[in-house]
């Protein structure tokens, strides 16, 4: 360190995490915006689209489990860079998905009361393969980001920092419907994947130049480092996975992710389709409603993180602060059950917007539970395990939504699932971690 005056460089690092989250969500959401375009060109039905989404979720689940461990072992400077490079290559690979007419990939289709393994052929399998690469890389984003927050922020600021960087997901989600239709109409759908995929390489260049551990960083002053390290000292020894699984705190986080992450995937991959089917919007007209949804969600992400941090500053315990904020978010999601039953476009948009904002506020606090309950050296692994649980939930929701839409064409039962998931999740979290006590590793 060479700086003697007080600095706030930790917020620059938070800004980099914000942009990584934005790029992450731009890359994963492109296919949702182009769903109708791709279905018309390649003639795949709701089950095939669900299988493509399922491929992403399966790879994301595997990647979550591995990436958390990788971040704990090699650190976020190198680990995060590798993750972004991989997912950027996967994003760009969508542009050549139709180059693989010979490709056959197995996937799972629900046919109650049985589950059958089927083959995806040709371009559909090509998209599935691109989604696998994308999912493996994108899985590194949240374990790396949460670990970075744990290293750069004291506990009292972590929910706010998490809410800020997590709001980047909403920025990415609202930018996608603004730029992807324009690129597609100007140059074709392939360039939508290529142009958005290139953004990741730009981010890696900035990350590599700007990032280092706070105690080694030349831009961090003595006073800022003291602020960052103001919490009681924690062990720096890497924690084995086998030591994490017996703890109820891990399962509280994992169940929270399993039940609520799939709802966010639902918004990303099916809300554009919902707007088209229920309200007649197309590639040219769905941009504004989607921008509104994710702009409101952005406010929810920062607001949810701010709320629990505000409670902490007023002397509340972490248990009361986090769970009160999460309860408010869970209740705010419930009205989405009416979104598919209204014929008014902007009422439907308002209901989805509130639910999306509540999810992001919930997510900011849910992620922060990991650093409340586990030491820094275990955070990456815990987030990875919980993220894997969330991705497995996303795999199930992809198949369930595909079947519901294929057979009924209705979003009513889908939004009923969305509206109830958070209250159930909070009840389970409270049962497993009634006081959010730190795990005694």
> What CATH number is given to the structural domain containing 326?
1.20.1250.20
Q: Which of 228, 313, 216, 273 is nearest to 404 (CA)?
A: 273
| pTM beyond 0.85 | no
- Collapsed DSSP state (helix, strand, coil) of residue 54: helix
Mean pLDDT score of the chain, rounded to an integer?
87
Q: Does some domain include residue 190?
A: yes
**Mean pLDDT, to the nearest integer, of 329-346?**
96
User: CB of 366 within 8 A of CB of 256?
Assistant: yes
Tell me the β-bridge partners of 85. Answer: none
The CA distance from 269 to 149, in Å, is 28
Q: Does some domain include residue 3?
A: no
Q: Does some domain include residue 15?
A: yes
The CA distance from 135 to 71, in Å, is 16
Q: Whose structure tokens read 């002053």? A: 221
For the chain, give the percent of residues with pLDDT over 70. Answer: 92
The range of the structural domain enclosing residue 306 comes to 10-228+236-432
For 363-408, what is each residue's pLDDT tens digit?
989 988 988 898 877 877 888 889 889 989 988 888 899 889 988 9
pLDDT for the residue numbered 177: 87
Report helix angle 376-407 to 141-152, nearest 10.
150
pLDDT band of 110, cuts 50, 70, 90: very low
User: CB of 196 within 8 A of CB of 30?
Assistant: yes
Q: Does some domain include residue 428?
A: yes
What does residue 271 show for φ and ψ, rounded to 5 degrees? -60, -40
Tokens of 290: 């989607």
Domain count, the chain: 1
Ranking 94-108, 178-192, 216-230 by mean pLDDT, the lowest is: 94-108
Q: Does some domain include residue 347?
A: yes
**Mean pLDDT, to the nearest integer, of 135-141?**
93
Q: Is the pLDDT of residue 422 over 90?
A: yes
* One-character DSSP codes across 154-203: -HHHHHHHHHHHHHHHHHHHHHHHHHHHHHHHHH-HHHHHHHHHHHHHHH
pLDDT for the residue numbered 121: 42
Tokens of 88: 């950027």
What does residue 215 show for φ and ψ, rounded to 5 degrees? -75, -15
Q: Which of 326, 330, 356, 329 is nearest to 433 (CA)?
A: 326
Q: Does some domain include residue 2?
A: no
Q: For 171, what's the count of Cα atoms within 13 Å in the CB-facing half-sphere?
A: 16
Q: Is 4 exposed, middle or buried (0-12, 13-18, 19+ CB in 10 A)?
A: exposed
Percentage helix, strand, coil, to 5, in the chain? 80, 5, 15
Residues 153-164: b if buried by 16+ CB within 10 A, e if exposed:
bebebbbbbbbb
Q: How far is CA 224 from CA 1, 154, 156, 174, in A?
A: 11, 11, 14, 34
Q: Is the pLDDT of residue 62 over 70?
A: yes
Residues 6+ positions from 311 with CB-CB distance below 8 Å: 320, 321, 324, 325
pLDDT band of 271, cuts 50, 70, 90: very high
Tokens of 271: 């809300």
Tell me the β-bridge partners of 118. Answer: 107
Q: Does some domain include residue 440?
A: no
* One-character DSSP codes across 362-376: HHHHHHHHHHHHS-H
Greater model confidence, 23 or 98: 23
pLDDT band of 230, cuts 50, 70, 90: confident
User: CB of 346 within 8 A of CB of 320?
Assistant: no
Q: Does some domain include residue 441?
A: no
The CA distance from 73 to 81, in Å, is 14
Q: Is the pLDDT of residue 152 over 80?
A: yes
Q: Is the pLDDT of residue 114 over 70?
A: no
């Amino acid at each position: 360190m060479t700086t003697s005056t007080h600095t706030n460089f930790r917020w620059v690092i938070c800004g980099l995490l914000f942009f990584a989250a934005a790029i992450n969500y731009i890359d994963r959401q492109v296919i949702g915006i182009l769903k109708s375009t791709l279905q018309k060109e390649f003639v795949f039905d709701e089950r095939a689209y669900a299988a493509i989404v399922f491929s992403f979720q399966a790879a994301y689940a595997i990647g979550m489990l591995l990436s958390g461990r990788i971040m704990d072992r090699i650190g976020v400077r190198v680990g995060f860079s590798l993750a972004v490079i991989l997912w950027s290559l996967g994003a760009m690979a969508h542009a050549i998905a139709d180059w693989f007419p010979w490709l056959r990939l197995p996937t799972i289709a629900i046919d109650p009361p049985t589950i059958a393994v089927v083959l995806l052929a040709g371009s559909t399998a090509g998209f599935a393969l691109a989604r696998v690469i994308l999912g493996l890389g994108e899985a590194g984003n949240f374990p790396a980001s949460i670990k970075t927050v744990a290293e750069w922020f004291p506990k009292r600021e972590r929910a706010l920092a998490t809410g800020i960087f997590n709001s980047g997901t909403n920025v990415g989600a609202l930018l996608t419907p603004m730029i992807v239709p324009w690129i597609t109409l100007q140059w074709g759908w392939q360039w939508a994947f290529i142009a958005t995929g290139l953004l990741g390489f730009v981010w890696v260049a900035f990350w590599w130049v700007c990032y280092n551990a706070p105690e080694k960083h030349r831009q961090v002053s003595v006073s800022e480092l003291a602020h960052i390290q103001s919490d009681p000292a924690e062990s720096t020894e890497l924690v084995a996975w086998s030591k994490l699984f017996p703890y109820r705190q891990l399962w509280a986080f994992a169940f929270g992710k399993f039940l609520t992450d799939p709802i966010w995937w639902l918004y990303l991959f099916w809300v554009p389709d919902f707007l088209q089917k229920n309200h007649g919007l197309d590639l040219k007209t769905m941009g504004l409603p989607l921008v509104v949804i994710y702009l409101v969600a952005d406010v929810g992400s920062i607001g949810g993180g701010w709320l629990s941090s505000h409670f902490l500053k007023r002397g509340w315990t972490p248990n009361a602060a986090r769970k009160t904020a999460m309860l408010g978010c869970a209740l705010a999601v419930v009205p989405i059950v009416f979104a598919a039953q209204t014929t008014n476009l902007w009422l439907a948009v308002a209901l989805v917007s509130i639910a999306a904002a509540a999810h992001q506020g919930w997510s900011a606090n849910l992620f922060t539970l990991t650093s409340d309950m586990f030491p820094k050296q275990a955070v990456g692994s815990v987030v990875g395990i919980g993220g894997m649980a969330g991705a497995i939930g996303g795999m199930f929701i992809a198949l369930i939504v595909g079947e519901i839409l294929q057979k009924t064409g209705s979003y009513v039962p889908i939004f009923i699932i969305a509206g109830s998931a958070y209250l159930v999740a909070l009840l389970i979290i409270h049962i497993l971690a009634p006081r959010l006590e730190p795990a005694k590793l």
